[in-house]
Every structure is written in structure tokens, then in C-alpha cells.
Amino acid sequence: MRDLSFLYMVTSSIHRLTRVEEVLRFLVNEVTRALNAEIGIVYTLDTASKRLLPVVSRGLRKGEDEKLAVKVDDSAVGRAFEEGRIINAVVGESDFHPTLDGMEVNSLLCVPVKGRKNILGVLELCRLHPLKFSLDEERLVTVAAGQAAIAMENIQNLEELEKTVRELKAVDELKNNLLANVSHELRTPITIAKGALELAMDEKNVKKRNGLLKMAVNALVRQNFIVGDLIEAANLERSKSELKMEEVNLVQLITLVSDEFKPMLIKDKIKMKISIENCLPPVRADNKQLKHVLRNLISNAIKFNKEGGEIIIEARERGNMVEVCVSDTGIGIPEDRLDKIFERFYQVDSSPSRRYGGTGLGLAIVKETVEAHGGRITVESKLGKGSRFCFTLPAARKEE
Ligand code: ADP
């Protein structure tokens, strides 16, 4: 009877409590009082230190609980957790291993808090007088430990749910930013081309008119580049068989692509150095796709650089691969974003107020292309100091 009324009182009160600590505190208070114990503690496992730490307690001296960190293999609490069994012992019995120094505990009861899959913690009750806890009392504490388990698991579920909601919100924000960013990226060249063409229509001076027409063409080329990236990204699972493999001379390719960026380098006062190992073997690659990879890495190295910064392009042989690295002295990438930047549409700053343009597709396409060639891409970066992207490609073997 005592079990049932206690259970009823506990469950009906728990309904009104929302935080796990409140539930556990309520349980410890009630059960300690009901059993005339002086001390009640709920421990949970701290996975990092592999120790049981008290989450709530009653009857401890101030600051006492801070000193309590129970080794899982030590003491009655540790064994109740490790072995998943109730330990009920008074001073003098072999199971009597109290955790509290200097508190003159003479009777203890440790009940594992069993979750659906594993043991979540231990509920410990201590008495100063050597009166052993009865079987009835053991059962009562087991009921309380069951309630504690439900509260702990519910809060775990709630935390997981909150995490999922946070992730979904981030995806939603990404989607909204993406729509805004892509529309902005597509509209900018249209605005430039439209303005240049309108001016060209009224321009009598042939040289000036040609300049305006060139401006319109460049804007449309840029737009074509963006649309090309969007189409590629929609269809990223490109198979190796779609690549038109040939022997590519990297010295020629790097020189050709880096020359395309000269006007941008001059505008941003950025120096570019090229360092290619002597006798570098050609690589087996799709020439067009490889150009796209280099263009993307170089254009990022310029875009995220600082005025007066530097870019180094290096190429060297590494075993049966050739490694190409593009380093810059730009803004760098936070360490926790390094693996994210290769995801489609990911941008370290994708907010509407962001400083750098782009769709967040370039690196996803670069990674996919390099891997389709049988290579790998890596990145190292120091925030505020710069980034270094390196990719490998199979060297073309001599007999081929
Ligand atoms: P985009 O440049 O269009 O934003 P990318 O896929 O090329 O898209 O790059 C994704 C993100 O990775 C960029 O928005 C930027 O935050 C980061 N990033 C890429 N390259 C660099 C770089 N060289 N320096 C600093 N950040 C970079």
C-alpha cells in the first residue's frame, strides 16, 4: 500500500515538473524523508571522466557534493552501477563501502537507475545509524529510481528533439539564404549587362561602344558560369565514365588558367607565384573539368584574400600522383567549418549581409570532380592568416 500511494503521489507530482533536475530533486527529497534517511543522492555517469557525479542531493554539507566523484569500479555506488544490482548494507557487512568520508554513514542503500537500454545512474540513500533498509524500503526506492529513469530518458528525448529542431531551422535558414543569394548572383550580371547595353545603344563612339558591349558579354559569361555550376550541382553524382580522360600538361594548364585572372589580381593588388617541380609528369584528367577545378580554387583564393595579399600555386609529384596546391593569405576558415565547406551551398557566411558573393557550389563541384578522377582534396586553414587547398590526380604513366 505504501508503494502505491507513494507511486501515485510521485507520478502525479512529476507530471507538473518539467526539468529533469526538478524531478530528481523532488524524488530524492520525498524518498529520503519517507525512509528516515539522512542523505539521498542521485548520481549519473560523466562519460568523459568515467566517474559517477551527483546531480542532486539532500542532507550533504555545503560543498560536499562537489567533492564526490565516484569511480565506477569503487564503492557500493560504483558497483551498483557497474553490476546493475541493489546494494543494501550496514557497517561491518562485506558490501559496505560508503563514498562519503567523514559523514559517519552506517547504513546505505544503492539502487541502479535503469533506463530502457542501459543503466543511467544510481540513487543512494544513507543513514547515520546502523539500521538496515528493509525489503519494503528497497522496493520503494526501486519505484523512485524507475521514475528517475523515466525523467532522465524523457529529457534526453527532449534534448534530441531540440537538436533536430535546431538542425531543421539551420537547414531552413540555409534554404532561405540560398534563394536570396542565388537570385542575387543571377541578377547582378543581368543588371550590369542591361545597363551596358542601354548605354551602348546611344553611344556614337565605336571604341566606347565596344567597351560597353564587352562589359555586357563579360557579365553574361559570369552568369553562364553560375548557371553552369547550378546545373552541375543538381547532377553531382557524375560517374567516372563521363570524364573525357586525356594526358594533361599541368604547366600549360596552370599558366593558361592563372593568366585569365590577371585583371582581377591587378585590381585587388594581389601577387601570384607559380612553383612547379621540374620534370612534372602529365596527369590523366578531363582537361575541361580540371580547368574548372583550378578556376574555382584560384577565384576563391582571390575573393577571400586581402588587398595586397599573395597566392601561391604549386605542383609536385607524390608517388604515382601529382599534387596541386593553391594557397592564399586571406581571411581563413574557422576550424569547425573545414569539412562543411565542401557541402553543396555551404558558405561560412551565408547571411543576407555577407561580404563575399557566390553560390556555395564551387567546392562541392571541385571535390566531386577530383574524386571522380581518383584523387583527393584537402584543406588547411588558419583564421585571419590564409588557406591552402591541395588536390591530387593520378600521374599519366609513361607507357600510356
Ligand atoms: P562560394 O565561393 O560560391 O561561396 P565555394 O563552394 O567555392 O562557394 O566555397 C564555400 C565557402 O568556403 C565559401 O563561401 C567560403 O566561406 C569558404 N571558402 C572557400 N574558399 C576559401 C578561401 N580560399 N578562403 C576562405 N574561405 C574560403
pLDDT value of position 98: 87
Pocket-testing residue among 295, 300, 348, ligand 1, by greatest number of atoms within 8 A of Cβ = 300
For residue 20, count CB atoms less than 10 angstroms from its CB and return exposed for 0-12, middle for 13-18, buried for 19 or more: buried
- What is the Å distance from ligand 1's center to 293 Cα? 13
Our CA angle for 217, 222, 225, nearest 5°, is: 125
- What is the Å distance from ligand 1's center to 247 Cα? 29
Ligand 1: which atom is nearest the Cα of residue 389? Answer: 23
Pocket-testing residue among 355, 363, 385, 390, ligand 1, by greatest number of atoms within 8 A of Cβ = 363
Nearest CA to ligand 1 atom 20: 300
For residue 71, count CB atoms less than 10 angstroms from its CB and return exposed for 0-12, middle for 13-18, buried for 19 or more: middle
Asked if 311 and 305 touch (Cβ cutoff 8 Å), the reply is: yes
pLDDT value of position 1: 43
Ligand 1: lining residues by beta carbon, under 6 Å = 296, 300-301, 304, 328, 330-333, 341, 346-348, 358-364, 387
Q: How far apart are the first and last CA of the chain?
A: 88
**Distance in angstroms (rounded) separating the CA atoms of residues 367 and 120:** 42
pLDDT value of position 23: 84
Helix, strand or coil, per DSSP, at residue 131:
coil
- What is the Å distance from ligand 1's center to 341 Cα? 7
pLDDT value of position 18: 53
Ligand 1: which atom is nearest the Cα of residue 364? Answer: 6
**Distance in angstroms (rounded) separating the CA atoms of residues 43 and 101:** 17
Instruction: Provide the whole-model pTM.
Output: 0.59
What residues form DSSP beta bridges with 274? 313
Nearest CA to ligand 1 atom 19: 300
For residue 122, count CB atoms less than 10 angstroms from its CB and return exposed for 0-12, middle for 13-18, buried for 19 or more: buried
- What is the Å distance from ligand 1's center to 349 Cα? 9
- What is the Å distance from ligand 1's center to 277 Cα? 27
pLDDT value of position 3: 52
pLDDT value of position 111: 97
Query: What letters, b where the CB count within 10 A reaches 16 and e where it falls short, cover 124-163?
Result: bbbbeeeebbeeebbebbbbbbbbbbebbbebeeeeeeee
- What is the Å distance from ligand 1's center to 342 Cα? 9
Spans of the chain below 50 pLDDT: 1-2, 15-17, 400
Nearest CA to ligand 1 atom 3: 358
Query: What letters, b where the CB count within 10 A reaches 16 and e where it falls short, cover 51-69?
Result: bbebbbbbbbeeebbeebe
- What is the Å distance from ligand 1's center to 264 Cα? 17
Nearest CA to ligand 1 atom 14: 347
How crowded is residue 91: how many other Cβ atoms within 10 Å of its Cβ?
Answer: 14
Nearest CA to ligand 1 atom 12: 341
pLDDT value of position 400: 45
